[in-house]
Amino acid sequence: MRIVLRENFDRIADRTPDELLPWSEFETFYHTMENFEYPHKDKLLEFIKYFFLDHIVSPDLLMMNYMAFKEHLLSTRPPG
């Protein structure tokens, strides 16, 4: 995921300083990312939703942990 979204990291980092973001806002933002050639964009979006879902407010309002998502993209893999 880091490699696929690397070219968009500046936009991702500048999106919001908030920890939580409504899923619908992130989904709209995700579809506007440029320089993003990946054959399974829908699968990556579902993975992000599954991995970074924080809580459900209502059936129409899901909140993702956007801060954890940004930190994951910034992190480096441990050696080995």
Is the pLDDT reported for residue 78 higher than 80? no
Q: Quick one: average pLDDT of 51-56?
A: 96
44 part of a folded domain? yes
- Domain containing residue 52: 2-74
pLDDT digits (tens, 9 = 90+) for 13-48: 999 999 999 999 999 999 888 767 677 888 899 999
30 part of a folded domain? yes
Confidence of residue 77 (pLDDT cuts 50, 70, 90): low
pTM: 0.84
79 part of a folded domain? no
How many domains is the chain partitioned into structurally? 1
- Identify which of 41, 69, 39, 43 has the alpha carbon closest to the alpha carbon of residue 54: 69
pLDDT at 80: 55
